[in-house]
Structure 1
Amino acid sequence: MEIIDNSIVEPIEIRMIRPSNFPVRYKLPLNSPELTNLKSSIKEHGLLQPIVIRPLDHGFEIVAGHRRFTACKSMRWRFIPSKIRDLSDKQAYEIQLTENIQRKSMDPIEEAEAYQKYVNEYGWGGISDLGQKIGKSEEYVSHRMQLLKLPEDVREKLVCSNLSVSQALELTSVDSSLKSEFVDEIVNNKLTVKQIRVMKKKIKSESDLYKPIPNKNSKSLNLIKKTNLSLKITLSRIDDLIEDAHGINPKQRVEMIKFLMGLRLKTHSMIDETIHFKKKHLQ
């Protein structure tokens, strides 16, 4: 159903306004850099855009503009310019989401959690319904929600922009015991999505890496898994270097490729030794 904008804009006393019961973003501490910068901007230029609120029993609830509201409240404003709209819980949530997406103000995990709440926790509609409301494709929404499958340490790297969304999505299909090893390699060596996929394919080809680990030798087997993964990663990187070597000076190309191929054979031999060690000592 289309939302008709019959809003009223006027100053509202701050004490009459409360935060939303359905927030789509995390609450920031008052001393956070984002709020500090926002307060400085408001002091210099004023509040350029009113917050959006809706009337409820005994006052109003914020629909959009939580950080603007917090900044103005911390500066002891008595009134704040407000756009008042009559909205349902679902409509208010959709407006919050749409505004934050347009502003690109949410990190990928905030965004994913907001989608998860809409679809699963609040039950307001499916992925397709949500995508239509916020102007995103069903695939976009689905991929964002997939990020919630990642462990906390990987999510933190994504939030801190040490990992891109595309890189993180590749990790969702990686065995949980290997995710940390993968993410360290990706971050430290700035691997592309193509390189990550090649790495995954090579590791997947050895099926015993994904077999259940018996409790008896679990620590030793985990160590062997990590060793094997490290060697496979090295092999993948050598293959990339061999490809790059085809573009160097012809006089040096032959020797360089010969050298790298030698390293590749040695790495293959080490992988074979690792598999042999596992079969002989840990099974």
Structure 2
Amino acid sequence: MHVFDTSIVEHIEIKMIRPSQFSIRDKFNDYQEVESLISSIKEHGLLQPILIRPYQNNFEIVAGHRRFYACKSLRWRHIPCKIREMNDKQAFEIQLTENIQRKSMSVLEEAEAFRKYVQDLGWGGVTELAKKIGKSEEYVSHRIQLLKLPQDIKEKIMLNKLSVSQALELTTLSSGNILQFADHIIENELTVRQIREVKSVFSKKGLSGDDLELIANENINLKNIKTLKITKKTTLALKITLARIDSIIEEVQLNFEPEQSTDVISFLMDMRLKIHSLIDDTIRFKNIKINKTTKHLKG
């Protein structure tokens, strides 16, 4: 069924328009963005009218707050507006969807808006909201989970020191462990997989937050452990190569005349010695890494 757009476009006096009662963005960030928008409007004019709705004998902004503040800063008396009748829920959904599509909201601003819709205002569950904004249910629920984290952790997210995926791994930890764990993640640049490995050790050993350093030492050297795994793979690859060289030597001995095979076998034996040397180097490198890790743990 086709839905007709019943909105109209008019120039409305700025003093008759008020900001949305559902603020979903940080005003300070908005103020910074308005500065660049003012320059654009000065040069090109307002290319797209703001969306407003009738509200308490005046009008309320649904979408276009930055454009509104920019025009107000330029001392415009009137501003082009698209006027549409809608209820609170519809206005909130449009405002939220527009900001998500423009990627103009921070992770935590999204989280606060999602919680307001689902929990504070009770307009629908995670499933309904996800459909309205074109995101997955997991996306919405994960954002809301971030709000459980302490303020210090939220600040690290805002400063991009912690990614959303890293921060989500912290939501299952007790408050006594979480700050120390977060610092450890940042300091060691742990991946989600590595974080889960540390958490696994943490839960199995039943240690307190004070023992996180011990766990960190045991896992460190998650980077060293990865190096050890690579050295094992390298040793295996070299041993496979050695076995293939031996097979080729055997083939030469079976199919070449003695006077023809001497130079070839000599060459292959030389290659064999070099591969043995590479295996020794790899084992030596691995032992150095093990010794360093052991010293670190004892220290």
- Bin the TM-score by the shorter chain: 0.7 to 0.9
- 1:236 alignment partner AA: N
Moved more, 191-200 or 2-11: 2-11
Contact 1:158 1:165 survives alignment (8 Å)? yes
**Residue in structure 2 matched with residue 80 of structure 1 by the alignment:** 79
1:62 paired to 2:45:
no
Output the CA distance in 2 between the equivalents of 1:253 and 1:267. Answer: 21
Backbone CA RMSD of aligned residues: 2.3
Output the CA distance in 2 between the equivalents of 1:2 and 1:196. Answer: 50
**Residue in structure 2 matched with residue 233 of structure 1 by the alignment:** 216
**Residue in structure 2 matched with residue 140 of structure 1 by the alignment:** 139
**Residue in structure 2 matched with residue 111 of structure 1 by the alignment:** 110
- 2:98 alignment partner AA: E
Residue 75 of structure 2 aligns to a residue whose secondary structure is coil
Structure 2: 5+ residue runs without aligned partners?
Answer: 235-277
Q: CA shift at 1:4, angstroms? A: 4.8
Q: 1:68 to 1:195 in 2, by over 3 A?
A: same
**Residue in structure 2 matched with residue 151 of structure 1 by the alignment:** 150
**1:1-283 alignment to 2 at 5 Å?**
4-28=4-28, 32-209=31-208, 225-226=209-210, 228-245=211-228, 246-247=230-231, 250=279, 252-266=281-295
Contact 2:217 2:297 survives alignment (8 Å)? no
Aligned length: 253
Residue 28 of structure 1 aligns to a residue whose secondary structure is helix
The sequence identity of aligned pairs, in percent, is 53
Q: Which has the larger radius of gyration?
A: 2
Say which structure is richer in helix.
2
Structure 1: 5+ residue runs without aligned partners?
Answer: 210-224, 271-283
**Residue in structure 1 matched with residue 251 of structure 2 by the alignment:** none
Normalising by structure 1, we get a TM-score of: 0.81
- 2:219 alignment partner AA: S
Q: 1:4 to 1:172 in 2, by over 3 A?
A: farther
Q: 1:40 to 1:133 in 2, by over 3 A?
A: same
Residue 104 of structure 1 aligns to a residue whose secondary structure is coil
Normalising by structure 2, we get a TM-score of: 0.77
Output the CA distance in 2 between the equivalents of 1:252 and 1:79. Answer: 77
Output the CA distance in 2 between the equivalents of 1:232 and 1:263. Answer: 17
